[in-house]
Every structure is written in C-alpha cells, then in structure tokens.
A and B are shown apart, each in its own frame.
Chain A
Amino acid sequence: MTALDDIRVKEGVDAETVDAVKALSGTYKHGWNTEIEMEYAPKGLSEDIVRLISAKNEEPEWMTDWRLEAYRRWLTLKEPKWAMVEYPAIDFQDQYYYARPASMAVKPKSLDEVDPKLLETYKKLGIPLKEQAILAGVEPGPEDRKVAVDAVFDSVSVGTTFRKELAKAGVIFCSISEAIREHPELVRKYLGTVVPQSDNYYATLNSAVFSDGSFVYIPKGVRCPMELSTYFRINAENTGQFERTLIIAEEGSHVSYLEGCTAPQRDIAQLHAAVVEIVILDDAEVKYSTVQNWYPGDENGKGGIYNFVTKRADCRGARSKVMWTQVETGSAVTWKYPSCILRGDDSQGEFYSIAIANNMQQADTGTKMIHLGKNTRSRIVSKGISAGRAQNTYRGLVSMHPKAKNSRNYTQCDSLLIGSHCGAHTVPYIEVRNNSSRVEHEATTSKVDDDQLFYCRSRGMDEEEAVALVVNGFCKEVLQALPMEFAMEAQQLVAISLEGSVG
C-alpha cells in the first residue's frame, strides 16, 4: 500500500488540494506515546496477580473471591478458534496486567491534582477532561452539548467530569473500582448477571483481571441530563487493557453513552479484552455508541491491538430498549458481538455497525438478538468495508424462542470491497422457533460503484476523496444513528481508515 506521499499527482490537481487531502487523511493520528512514569505489576498471570489487582483497587473480599473464581475457571478454558481471524498465539504470561501512572498511586482528590501530562494526553486526543475549561474558560455556545467523561488510562480511571451536576440528578457515573468501594450493593447485585464470569474465554479473563472501567447508574425515571462518555487509552507497552463497564438503567430512565478508544503505535501487538454489561429495566432506554480506533498495526500487519470484546445488554424490563451503534475502524484483530437479550415483553434491540478493515486488519464482528419476550423487536444494520488485504466478517445470530410470540427482526448486512486482495464475509445464524414472528435477512456484497466514482471524479475530486464520499454514503444509515459528537468524527475516520486503499 502506498502512502499518500507516493501518489502521483495527476495533471490539473493543484498543490493545495493535495495538501488538503493529506491533512485530512494522514496515517494513524493517535499513534503517539505519552512519556509518563508508570507503575507496573509484575508480568504474567497468576492468582497472586489477581489478588494484587484486587488489592490495588482496595476491593472487598467478595470481589477478590469473584475474580479468583473467574481466574480458576479461565485456566480450564480454551481460546476460541471459530472466528475468521488469524493471529500468532498470545503469550498470556508475557503481558502486564496492571499498569497505572505513578502519580495515581495516591488517588487525586480533584482533577487539579491529576498529572498535567495525563490531562495533556486527553487534550491531544481532543477530549476535554477539565470541566472548568467549559465552565470557566470557553463560554459554550447554546448548541454545545455537555458530555461527562470518564477517562481510563491503561489500567486505571484518571478522572470523571461533571460529577456534581450528575449527582444532582441522582446519576452515578464513576470508575468501576470506585463503584465497588462506594456502591458495593449495586455492583454486587448486577456484576456478572449479564455476562457471567464463565461466559467465554476472554470475558472470563476479563472477570479475573479487569482493573478499571466505568460504572453508570441511572435511577428510576431519570433522563440523564447529559451524554456520558468513557475514553480508553492504552499507553504502556506490553500491557493488556481489561476494562469492565456496567450500566444500570432503572425503570423509565434514559441514558446515552459514548465510548472511544485509541492506543500508541507500537510494533508489538497488544491485547485488549473488555466486557460491557448493560441492565435495562421497565421502560428504560440505553443508547451505547462506540468509536473504536485502537491502533490497527502498520500496512504490513505489524503491531496493533487485538480487540476481544464481550458486550451484552439485557432488556429485562417490559418496553425497555437498547441501541448499539459502533464504528469499528481500528485494531489489528477485532472479535466483538454486542448482543441484546430481549427478555422483557415489547422490548427492542437495535444494532448499527460500520466495520472498516484496511491493510492487514481482520474484523469478525456482528451481533446477537435473542428474542425471549413477546412482541420483541430487533433491527440490525451492518456495513462492512474491506480494503487492502483485510478480512471483514459479519457474524450474527437472530434467535426467536418459542415464547417470543409476535416478534420481529429485520437484518441488513452490506459489504463493500475496495481492491481485489481483500475479503468480505457474512455468517448469519437464524433460528426461528415460533410462527407468529417474522424474520427477514438480507445481505449484499458489491464493489464501489464505478458510476458514482466517475461522477465525483468529474467534479474534481481525487480518487481517495471520491471513495471516501461514496463509502460515507454507503454507511449513511449507521452514521445517522450516531450522536452528533461522534457522527462528525466517524465520517472523518471512515476517510482516514481507507487511506492508501486506492491508486
């Protein structure tokens, strides 16, 4: 794959255009590394390490036991091999399972006490952690929406913003380690009830060694006053990041949650195994949006993040609703199936996904819609784009149980191929066990339409711009489902991710 510098500028294209495109595309933007003093637990995985992580987080005994139980279970499990991804064997003993900035050894009382280098890191990523910046520094315009952020740096949460304002509404938004200490009754009641410790290889590993993550609790009838966001950053080398997110939406509540991820550019692949659990009670609604932009590795497949994620929402209540939206552009290997258990009658699950794989990236992603309750509805819209030598697989399950009378599912999976050395695959499973439900599945695979490209080119766009525009059009249905903050970023990401895929 050629870098932009190598592209022959065709006649009639001025230098300004080339610069503009270069500025827009560029290579991986977040590949830099923060020089910061880190504190590591020894390399490798053992019961002692699990105990150490638990001790570092000052956890109660029940939590330590819970972790140890997961660890012992994990030792009996085998790594799953069914996904259409190939990667060298992971040496689980050659990883750090705990790393935190040294300055975090004593928990800072407020954001003012946080190491400025850390705040700088997030600022560089475009994430304002200092609420003062908005409250005092820059006067926000009337359209500017407030977003509360929880930032996770390697293994620990470095700060959560807007806590006071959220507390006024009764919303709890903090790191999970804090929640285990401050709200043990809630954590104990819900942790592991959606994704059990023994769920799968990576979820079990996560249960044993998760170091931090976010915790959200929306009380009965509360509409969360602002969007909540977690920003995950892997910085340290050879460090696995295992975050765990738990969201509880009580009856009639509503929350929109955003998640972003980046990592520095390194030659050695890094492991990321997260678990997200969402519990949704009667009439509550959760919207979960992800822009996953972990470092994808270079064009020869060197480095990058191995992203093994288990995300599941349990619509326990009647008329509850969950909406997953994901833009997956990063990671060398992605293994991720955000799922919906539609247990409550009349509950709804939606899944909107854009997965882009370029160069040597491999993505095996999709969703599961498990219909258990009556009159449940689900909708899947998946757009997969493959370029370079990448492999992109949609894998999904729609299951209508015998008691899920009058339920509906509509699935649409479209794949786009750019270049003749990549692959796009669709592996849906459809299981229908009652006759009052309707299930419809549609999938197409095609290439970027030549007529559309020609049209854009004839209007003076260069090929990469034209492809980015067409691809953005292809993804439109999903981009529209994203919250505004993410929609813009996602559109640009689509263009960046495809850099070097044409020409």
Chain B
Amino acid sequence: MVADPRTTATDERLDALTLPAGNGWLHAARKDALGRLRAVGLPVRRDEYWRFTNPAPLVRVAPAPDAPTQTDDPFDGVDAYVITIDGDRLDLPDGAPDGLEITTLSKVAEADIHWVRDLYGKLEAAGSRPVSRPFAMLNTAFATGGLAIRVMAKVSRPIHIRTIGGTDPILHHVVKVDADAAVTILESGTAGARSNIVTEVDVADRAAFDHIRVQGPDHARHVNTHLFARLGTGSAFKSFTLSANGQFTRNEAVIELTGDDATAHVAGAAFGRDDLHHDDTVFVIHDACDCESRQVFKKVLRDGATGVFQGKILVKEGAQKTDGYQISQALLLDDDSVFLAKPELEIYADDVACSHGSTTGAIDETALFYLRSRGVSKRVATDLLVLSFLTEAVDEIADDGLRDHVGGLMADWLSRD
C-alpha cells in the first residue's frame, strides 16, 4: 500500500522537530497540540482551506535557504516600549509602562500555576473548529519562544514586538487584557526565512486591544501567522496588517465575539510584485448579541503576483442584532497578476444585517485620464491611485498618530517597490 502523502509529509516534518523538554502544564499543552496535529496532519494542496495557497513552503522540513535581509525599524520615531526577539535571544528591557506584566514563555514554563496556563493553546484549539489550523497546532507544540503579556490597566505607550534574525522561528505569544484595560501592540520584523507566529488574545469585558502589524519589504520571507482572539462583553478589538512584498505570507485570524456589544475590526493592506503570494484568511464568529464586526482587505498586485482572501462571518443561532461587514478588493496592475477570493457568510440568526462585497479590476481609466490630463505622469498617477486605494484600509487604524505613521511607511515602501 502506498503511504498517504499527507502522513508522509507530516511525519517527516515532525521527526525533524523536538518537543521542548519539561513536565509541567506547558508540556501537557504541547503534547495535547501534537496529538491534535497528528490526528489531522499537515495540509495538502487539495484541502479546501488551502485551495488558493500551496502549503508546501510551510510543510517542508527546511525553509528556503535565502534568508531575508534586515530592514530598519519600521516604527522608528514612534514612542513605544520595544521588545526585540533576535533569533533565540529575548531580553525584556527596563522601562515597561505601568499596568503591564510581561514575561517570556520560557519563564512561564517554570511556574506551577500561571494565568498563561488558562490561555496557552486554548484559543488556538477552539479556533481549530470547525476548520483545523495545523500550523497553529504545530506552533503550540513546538514554540521556541514568545511573550506572555498581561494588561491590567489602560497602558499609556504601545508595546512594540520586533522580531528579527533566526532561520525558522516558531513564536507563540499570549496576551490577556483584563476588564476595562487597554493596550496597543505593534508588531514588526522579518523573523527569518520562515516564521510561524501564533498570538492568542483574550480581551475581557469592556477592554480594548489594538494591534498594528507591519511585514516589511523583504522578498525572501515566508510567513505564517495566526491571531486567535476571544472578546468579552463590550470589548473592542482592532487589528491591522500592512504587508509589502514577501514570497509567501499567510495571515490567519480567528476572532470569536463571545460577549454582547463587542466590536471586532480586522483590516489589511498588501502590495507586491513577481512571485509574491499573499493570503488573508479571516474567520469571525458571532456568538453574542448586538455585536459588530468589520473586515476591510485591499491588495495591489503586479507582475504576476497572487493575492488571496478567504473571509468568513459565522453568526451562531441566537446572535441577534449582529452587524457584520466584509469587503475585499484587489487592484491588478497587469494581466499576469491573480486575485482569488472566497468571501463567505454562514448565518443562523434572523435579526441580523450582514453583507460582503468583493471587487477585482484594473486601475480606473477615468481617474488615470483625469490625472494625466492635469499633467501628472502615468507612473506618478498610478502610484497616487494605488496609494489612495490602499489608504482606505489604513484608515481602519484608530489612533491618528499611528495611522499617519503607517500611511507614511506605506507610501515610502510603495515608492521603492
């Protein structure tokens, strides 16, 4: 009998990894994830949730050899508490703002009982139903590092997690935002030739979580991220990702609104060329009343780049008065680029207003003509229209200063693209 390619690939990959030693709760959580992973196996191309993105770069034992080059700190100039993860080195600098408890995964593992225990791998496991997320399971089992952040008040300065170096890091962050607390987390970095980053976020009642992530213009990177969030009553969740270039990016988000009156906004702006493959896979679950969710994703693709959007709004039975919105748009700058989308709605409650829209096309000729008739060169006119198209996603960032900063960063990267 011929062995199933999924099993073979899974075995090969797992054989090359070592489960970190230990015997506490963390080890139990790792073993649990490994068990779940073995049961489903790593994905293959014909899996429904990988139909638009070939998982092979994430499955193979060793990452592609060319490592990304370092880039400048994209949040340079923003007043933030910066934590740098350089390969396996993770030092917590002094000067953390008040209202925070920050520690590392390795330290947490030594503690007998810790709040992280109630979250680590828990949201990830919940987010793997009904669709399994094998790379997140792999992450929970084999994470080599990560941060545990507890937010106990409204934190004045953003926390910037800057990930650089390393070849194939597996990072797992856990964030718990207590009731009425608020925090802004910035994330940046190239993080090696291949990186697998899972972030689990528990947002308690009336708390606020703001997340801004930039994935810089480093061509060689292969990135797979998962963001799992659980939202309490009246809480507010926001996440925005700017991606420039990169051979392979798959950003998954699973957000569950479990308390009434919660809001979740997820947005992304991405652009790139050539063999860029950029995939946003978002799953928003409404399991409470009077909640609002919003997804805004924009991509600009040229010279054969591929953009993917898979977004789903699930409204469970009883989640009445839900307001769900989703838009995915792609601008194809030439005939070789491709946009593949699957915007889904699955609704089991009747008193809801849910909608989604998706458009794909070339640059608006009328707008281009207008600019050219005003003496603007074609190149500049195209850049302007691309910028204005992407800015609609950047506008989802609530904080004025950060929005301007990210907008400026995007314009700068676009001009160099």
Contact surface of A with B, Cβ cutoff 8 Å:
82, 400, 402, 405, 415, 417-447
Inside 8 A of B359's CB, which chain A residues have their CB?
Answer: 438-441
Complex: A115 Cα to B383 Cα, angstroms: 75
Q: If A444-B355, A445-B354 touch, does A432 touch B338 (CB 8 Å cutoff)?
A: yes
Complex Cα distance A425/B324, Å?
13
Q: Which residue of B lies closest to A442 (CB)?
A: B357
Please provide the chain B residues from 215 to 247 with a CB less than 8 Å away from any CB of chain A in the complex: none
Check if B318 is an interface residue, CB within 8 A of chain A. yes
Q: Which of B339, B349, B352 contacts A430, CB < 8 Å?
A: B339
CA distance A147 to B347 in the complex (A): 41
Chain A residue at smallest Cβ distance from B338: A433
Assess A436 versus B335: contact at CB under 8 Å? Given A420-B350, A443-B343, A447-B351: yes
Chain B contacts for A445, CB-based, 8 A: 345, 347, 352-355
Q: For the complex, give the distance between the alpha carbons of A442 and B353 in Å.
A: 13
Interchain CB contact under 8 A, A420 and B344: no
Known contacts A417-B347, A435-B361; decide if A443 and B333 are in contact (CB<8 Å): no
Q: Which of A400, A405, A419, A439 lies at the interface centre, i.e. has the most chain B CB atoms within 10 A of its CB?
A: A439
CB distance from A474 to the nearest CB of B (A): 14
Q: With A417-B347, A425-B346 given, is the CB distance from A435 to B354 under 8 Å?
A: no
Asked if B198 is at the interface of the complex by the 8 Å CB criterion, the answer is no
Complex contact A425–B357 (CB within 8 A)? no
Q: Does B348 contact A (CB under 8 A)?
A: yes
Does B317 count as interface, using CB distance less than 8 angstroms? yes
The answer to whether B352 and A446 touch across the interface, beta carbons within 8 angstroms, is yes
Q: Give the one of A405, A424, A432 with max B CB within 10 A.
A: A432
List the interface of chain B (C-beta within 8 A of A). Answer: 48, 317-318, 320, 330, 332-362
Q: Known: A418-B350, A445-B352, A446-B353. Is A425-B344 also a contact (CB below 8 A)? A: yes
Q: Report chain A residues within 8 Å CB of B354.
A: 444-446
Query: Which one of A405, A418, A435 contacts B332 once the chains associate, using CB atoms below 8 Å?
Result: A435
Is the pair B350, A434 in contact by a Cβ cutoff of 8 Å? Answer: no
Closest Cβ–Cβ distance, residue B146 to chain A (whole Å): 35
Q: Chain B residues near A405 (CB, 8 Å)? A: 335
Instruction: Give Cα A423 to B355, complex, Å.
Output: 15
Contact A425–B343 (Cβ < 8 Å): no
Q: How far is the CA of A313 from the CA of B354 in the complex (A)?
A: 32
Given contacts A415-B347, A417-B347, A435-B361, contact A430 B353 (CB under 8 A): no
Contact across chains for B317 and A428 when beta carbons are under 8 A apart: no
For A433, what are the chain B residues with a Cβ–Cβ distance below 8 Å?
A: 338
- Which 3 pairs of residues, A with B, have the shortest CB-CB distance? A435-B332, A417-B350, A438-B361
- Among B330, B356, B358, B360, find the residue whose CB has the most chain A CB atoms closer than 10 A: B360
B347 touching A436 by the CB < 8 A rule? no
Interface of A is mostly: strand
> Contact at A429–B330, with CB atoms within 8 Å?
no
Contact B346 A423 (CB under 8 A): yes
Q: In the complex the two chains form, is A435's CB within 8 Å of B335's CB? A: yes
In the complex, what's the smallest C-beta–C-beta distance from B304 to chain A, in angstroms? 10
Apart from A431-B339, A435-B362, A443-B356, 7 more pairs, CB < 8 Å: A420-B349, A420-B351, A421-B348, A430-B339, A430-B343, A438-B359, A441-B359
* Nearest CB of A to B328, in Å: 9
Q: Chain B contacts of A440 at CB under 8 A? A: 357-359
Are B361's CB and A417's CB within 8 A? no
Q: Which residue of B lies closest to A443 (CB)?
A: B356
Verify A430–B332 contact, CB threshold 8 A: no
- Point out the residues of chain B lying under 8 angstroms from A428, CB to CB: 341-344, 358
Among candidates A82, A441, A447, residue contacting B343 with C-beta atoms closer than 8 Å: A441
A443 and B345 within 8 A (CB) = yes
CB neighbours of B318 from chain A (8 A): 420
Are the C-beta atoms of A430 and B345 separated by less than 8 Å?
no
CB of A430 within 8 A of CB of B341, answer yes
Q: Which residues of A contact B48 (CB under 8 A)?
A: 82
Most buried by A among B346, B348, B350: B350
Tell me whether A425 and B332 are in contact (CB under 8 A): no
| The residue from A423, A426, A438 contacting B348, defined by CB atoms under 8 A apart | A423
Most chain B CB neighbours (cut-off 10 Å) among A82, A430, A431 = A430
In the complex, what distance in Å separates the CA atom of A423 from the CA atom of B318? 11
Q: Give the CA-CA distance A447 to B352 in the complex, in Å.
A: 7
Give the distance to chain A from B357, nearest Cβ to Cβ, in Å. 5
Whose C-beta in chain A lies nearest to the C-beta of B334?
A435
Cα of A279 to Cα of B330 in the assembled complex, Å: 34
Are B349's CB and A417's CB within 8 A?
Answer: yes
- Complex CA gap A431/B339 in Å reads 6
Shortest CB-to-CB span from A382 to chain B, Å, is 12
User: Is the pair B347, A423 in contact by a Cβ cutoff of 8 Å?
Assistant: yes
Cα distance A432–B346 in the bound complex, in angstroms: 24
Whole-angstrom distance between the Cβ of A401 and the nearest chain B Cβ: 11
A23 to chain B, nearest CB (A): 28
How far is B354's CA from A417's CA once the two chains are assembled, in angstroms?
A: 11
